[in-house]
Structure 1
Amino acid sequence: MAPKVLISDKLSPTAVQIFKDRGIDADFQPDLGKDKDKLAEIIGNYDGLAIRSATKVTEKIIANANNLKVIGRAGIGVDNVDVPAATAKGIIVMNTPFGNSITTAEHAIAMMFAVARQLPEADASTRAGKWEKSKFVGTEITAKTLGVIGCGNIGSIAAERAIGVKMRVIAYDPFLSPERAMNLGVEKVDLDELFRRADFITLHTPLTDKTRNIIDAAAIAKMKDGVRIINCARGGLIVEEALAEALKSGKVAGAGIDVFSSEPAKENVLFDAPNVVCTPHLGASTSEAQENVALQVAEQMSDYLLHGAVTNALNMPSISAEEAPKLTPFVRLAELLGLFAGQLTQTGIKAIKIEYEGTVAEMNVRALTSAALTGVLRPMLQTVNMVSAPAMTRERGIHVEEVRREQQGAYEGYVRLTITTERQSRSVAGTVFGDGKPRIIQIKGINMEAELGPHMLYVTNEDKPGFIGNLGTVLGDAGVNIATFNLGRSERGGDAISLVEVDGPIAEDVLAKVLALPSVVQVAPLAF
């Protein structure tokens, strides 16, 4: 029987035809996504669900999706899909991360021009017969400094377009290497310097815990008087109330906002602010982009349903059925090593080296490397997956090196990941034991054996008496329960590392107390 796919949003006729041409039974109901109850009622009849942004794939819908194997999102954002629920149900979630990059970058440039010349207000005034030439004195783009926050796929295109209209471009992106910045023709700076120097600021970063509210009242205070801000990335990157106040005071001369903290935005504090150009999330809305992502998702879903090929999956590695049982634990190990190192990396990454020794060196290391890169990038780019991670790494000019060698040490097979930043190198190694669980076996050259739990505390310190007792006291006084406690040191009295599993997240004030302990050098919470 042919696989059945429900298309519950408006996909192009060409995409629908791709399903049919590939032998897929495609049920095109473009308005069904708006009816949650009806969707929940019939979703159990389908093997695949193709959507845009209108369909909300909630936990309730997934609970009814007893035959569903794949959800395909035509576009990059999967905010409308409960990915953890889909993963728990064994449903692959795919997206099309690169289909609308040019369109979004072009919209940001268009918004910048509209804000600089007050085009919407001037248009409305002229149509009203007012002819207010003196009211709409704009500012030139040429020779101004554009600050790009997030210089990945979309941000780099926006930077290139801005250079084309003779702007100076500075960029903040922890993953942007100096070499890549040079090739793009942009100057890499830290965030405070970007705020201080930029005449225009455009946001092209995903919404993560680290980027949420990246532009707040404190950030705006650091900016030039008369700065203009563009956001075509994600709502939540800007504290809208703070921006509205800055627009009213004149600190910010204008803003172009395509995305909002709550969408659809029928009401918003920015709507009443002066000198704002607002659009209804049009970043990806061109006929070319809509067509591209629709065709891509149709091809990807067909390939999976017919042949088991996985492309651009957010919750499943690209691994063949034959090698899965042996490889999967090491894929998880590689991703954990990357996630471990990525969470501890605060400066720009220049290189990532992954060493495979012993039995693991004979495996599909391409999948392992993709998993490791995914882990490294995920703290900053939460939508990254095993397919997109290598491309995102290349975009940022990060050099990736793979090394394979025969067994030399005590372990039958292990993986070591080393990140080199502009300031230092940090390595972490691990293996998979007979129980199939990944273990850390070495951090920064210090041997230790540790299983990674959901919440960990990483502490580096000088090896001096009293440290363990002091740390236990601070955590105990704060009501933090210790599940496991792993220690290692380079030598007596030398550098030491503690890796502590706790039962939940640790508050910032508790972390500050740990950092203040005698002999403590670094403290970082880790989540896995």
Structure 2
Amino acid sequence: MSSYHVLIATDLTPDSLQILKDAPDVTTNIVPPNLPAVRDALVSAHALIAREDVRIDNPLLDHASHLKVIGRVGAGLGGLDMEAATGRGIIVTNTPGTNAVAAGEHTLALILALSRRVITAHNSLKEGYWLLDRARQAGTQLEGKTIGLIGFGRVGRVVAQRCLAFGMSVLAYDPYVTEDQVNDKRVLLVGLNELLRRSDFVSIHVAVTSETRGMFTADLIARMKPGARLLNVAHGSIWDEEAVAKAVKEGHLAGVGVDVYREEPPYNSPLIGLDNVVHTPHIGDNTIEAAQDLSCQIVTQVLDALRGTDYRYVVNMPFMPGGTPYEAARPYMQLAEHMGTVAHTLSRYAVRRVDVEYRGEEVDGLVKPLTVALLKGILTPVLGEKVNYINAPVLAAERGIQISQTKGLRTGDYANLVSCQITLEDGEEIVMAGTLLDHKEPHIVQINEYRMNFVPQGHMLIMGSYDQPGVIGRVGTLMADNSVNIASWQTGRAEPGGQTLTVLTLDEAIPDDVLEELRQQDFIRHAHRLEI
């Protein structure tokens, strides 16, 4: 049984730590979330669990020769060099949506604090002053107001439902959400300019990406309704803090609620201490319930990824949220990977192009994962453990292998079929097709013009021969004379008296000298040993 060393550089709940402690194949090391401590401890770690306060880049990963999995607590991926991790074959997994209720409720807390001037009233009374000027301290009600949500994912939907309960009108802008994806028709999808123009409150709920980083500029703030309030519990890099602070000082914004900052801790943020700004220290997901859910979820995800039993919320692996679960995709991925291994075995020259075709309801949504698995099968015999589902496309591109999806490969007629055409450096093409038996057992059913049916597993011998009498007997005698037992024999031929392709499954690997003797037989065109 493999053993794994998990490095923890964040606070996890006792229950989640107990999951790790109870795992017989796991050891742990808990360090503070600072660079020197993490760097020194990474040397022997197979997995790292951390939050955004640990910057993970190439220099840090240079110390992580054994690292297989990075588990990010929360949805944020800021400060993580995804390209560097992917190139090294490191799985990156996070926990999107687990803290959606906590973040959504915190957004409402900031909205209420701004609209009712709660902080000002609290501080006034704490300092001994009763409200003498009630008009100056008057707040505003939420009922009848309009809130605009920039981003309508998990957190945005939580905020929408609670704002609707307060009697607010809800607008949403999200270019990746269509009207049929909005279950509550009281939420109106609008363009960004309309949202800014109409909203009394604007709340940001987008993930930080290359598209959203710095998106909320002074220009967008200027388009907001005068006297509106702006909130950000998503990520500090999404807006321009200086522009926001200026809009508050000049009165264009009546208030700002902020839980996230460009730099954390925000020692130099222009928002800290401003009147009409309610700021909290990144506590949007800091509830007892969210902490428990986040901790247990990331621990189980990391363990499953290390063991290869599941890959939930892996952000650099070809599985899309809402797509086919890994458990259902795994048999087809194993088939594609084994097909790649067989193709490599039959390749006399380097692979230069891979064309794929997937037919059938069960494989329609598996184009990416199956292609990645096929590439892994092709590359693993050359690169060994260096290649995995994460970096196979990167390594294939580095070797000049072109990948494309095609139609019309001359393969058999099955309800669900995985097909590929491998083009070699000399122009030779290898066509292969496979399917599943009973939705679980991989079978290769065609190689080039040869129709056959074999399970690509165990010790195998693949041989091309001429279709003539006595081949089976002579090969069987050679194997028997050398104590090599044949478990199964599958032969396909293009036409009677032509050429054949045979796949033998053996109880043990064929010895080198026996393989060489076989190759010397006058009826043998080629022979290859293979183990899967």
> TM-score when scaled to structure 1?
0.62
> In structure 2, what is the equivalent of residue 434 of structure 1?
422
> In structure 2, what is the equivalent of residue 99 of structure 1?
98
Q: Secondary structure at the match of 2:254?
A: strand
Q: 1:362 to 1:242 in 2, by over 3 A?
A: closer
> In structure 1, what is the equivalent of residue 128 of structure 2?
129
Deviates further, 72-81 or 161-170:
72-81
Deviation string for 1:468-488 (max 9, x for gaps)?
A: xxxxxxxxxxxxxxxxxxxxx
> In structure 2, what is the equivalent of residue 390 of structure 1?
none
Q: Secondary structure at the match of 2:7?
A: strand
Q: Secondary structure at the match of 2:237?
A: coil
- The yes-or-no answer on 1:323 pairing with 2:335 is yes
Please say which structure displays the higher CA radius of gyration.
2
Q: 1:46 to 1:221 in 2, by over 3 A?
A: closer
Q: 1:289 to 1:359 in 2, by over 3 A?
A: closer
Residue 435 (structure 1) shift: 4.5
Q: Secondary structure at the match of 1:322?
A: helix
Residue 432 (structure 1) shift: 7.4
1:156 is aligned with what amino acid?
R
- Distance in 2, matches of 1:178 and 1:41, equals 50
CA contact (8 A) 1:146 1:167 kept: yes
2:119 is aligned with what amino acid?
P
Q: Secondary structure at the match of 1:277?
A: strand
> In structure 2, what is the equivalent of residue 90 of structure 1?
89
> In structure 2, what is the equivalent of residue 481 of structure 1?
none
Q: 1:285 to 1:327 in 2, by over 3 A?
A: farther
CA contact (8 A) 1:10 1:52 kept: no
Deviates further, 69-78 or 306-315:
306-315
- The yes-or-no answer on 1:254 pairing with 2:258 is no
- The percentage of counterpart residues that share the same residue type is 32
Deviation string for 1:498-528 (max 9, x for gaps)?
A: xxxxxxxxxxxxxxxxxxxxxxxxxxxxxxx
> What is the 5 A alignment of 1:117-516?
117-132=116-131, 133-134=133-134, 135-181=136-182, 183-317=184-318, 318=326, 320=330, 322-325=334-337, 359-361=358-360, 364-368=363-367, 410-411=408-409, 434-435=422-423
> In structure 2, what is the equivalent of residue 21 of structure 1?
22
Q: Secondary structure at the match of 1:57?
A: coil
Residue 218 (structure 1) shift: 1.9
CA contact (8 A) 1:145 1:200 kept: yes
Residue 283 (structure 1) shift: 1.3
CA contact (8 A) 2:31 2:38 kept: no
Q: 1:162 to 1:362 in 2, by over 3 A?
A: closer
- Distance in 1, matches of 2:219 and 2:37, equals 46
Residue 118 (structure 1) shift: 1.5
Residue 156 (structure 1) shift: 0.9
CA contact (8 A) 1:327 1:364 kept: no
CA contact (8 A) 1:327 1:363 kept: no
> In structure 2, what is the equivalent of residue 471 of structure 1?
none
Q: Secondary structure at the match of 2:184?
A: helix
- Distance in 1, matches of 2:370 and 2:79, equals 24
1:114 is aligned with what amino acid?
A
CA contact (8 A) 2:76 2:207 kept: no
Q: 1:142 to 1:371 in 2, by over 3 A?
A: farther
Q: 1:436 to 1:169 in 2, by over 3 A?
A: farther
CA contact (8 A) 1:196 1:222 kept: yes
- Distance in 2, matches of 1:310 and 1:54, equals 24
Deviation string for 1:364-413 (max 9, x for gaps)?
A: 444337899xxxxxxxxxxxxx9xxxxxxxxxxxxxxxxxxxx9965559
Q: Secondary structure at the match of 1:171?
A: strand
- Distance in 1, matches of 2:423 and 2:251, equals 62
- Distance in 1, matches of 2:68 and 2:268, equals 38
Deviation string for 1:156-190 (max 9, x for gaps)?
A: 11101100111111111112222333625201110
Residue 306 (structure 1) shift: 2.8
1:226 is aligned with what amino acid?
G
Q: 1:212 to 1:89 in 2, by over 3 A?
A: closer
1:188 is aligned with what amino acid?
L
Residue 30 (structure 1) shift: 4.3
- Distance in 2, matches of 1:245 and 1:163, equals 31
CA contact (8 A) 2:7 2:31 kept: no
Q: 1:4 to 1:236 in 2, by over 3 A?
A: closer
Deviates further, 209-218 or 280-289:
209-218
Residue 323 (structure 1) shift: 3.4
Q: 1:408 to 1:194 in 2, by over 3 A?
A: closer
Where do 5+ consecutive residues of structure 2 fail to align? Answer: 319-325, 342-354, 372-388, 390-404, 412-418, 426-532
> TM-score when scaled to structure 2?
0.62
> In structure 1, what is the equivalent of residue 66 of structure 2?
67
Q: Secondary structure at the match of 1:81?
A: coil
Q: 1:146 to 1:412 in 2, by over 3 A?
A: farther
- Distance in 2, matches of 1:10 and 1:324, equals 40
CA contact (8 A) 2:20 2:299 kept: yes
Q: Secondary structure at the match of 2:110?
A: helix
- Distance in 1, matches of 2:154 and 2:199, equals 21
Residue 13 (structure 1) shift: 1.4
Residue 298 (structure 1) shift: 1.0
- The yes-or-no answer on 1:7 pairing with 2:8 is yes
> In structure 2, what is the equivalent of residue 76 of structure 1?
75
CA contact (8 A) 1:150 1:171 kept: yes
Residue 304 (structure 1) shift: 2.3
1:247 is aligned with what amino acid?
V
- Distance in 2, matches of 1:207 and 1:52, equals 15
Residue 215 (structure 1) shift: 2.7
Q: Secondary structure at the match of 2:202?
A: strand
Q: Secondary structure at the match of 1:146?
A: strand
Q: 1:192 to 1:326 in 2, by over 3 A?
A: farther
- Distance in 1, matches of 2:253 and 2:234, equals 19
> In structure 1, what is the equivalent of residue 515 of structure 2?
none
Q: How many residues were matched structurally? A: 360
CA contact (8 A) 1:146 1:202 kept: yes
2:422 is aligned with what amino acid?
G
CA contact (8 A) 1:10 1:30 kept: no
- Distance in 2, matches of 1:106 and 1:30, equals 31
- Distance in 2, matches of 1:436 and 1:241, equals 57
1:322 is aligned with what amino acid?
Q
Q: 1:76 to 1:273 in 2, by over 3 A?
A: same
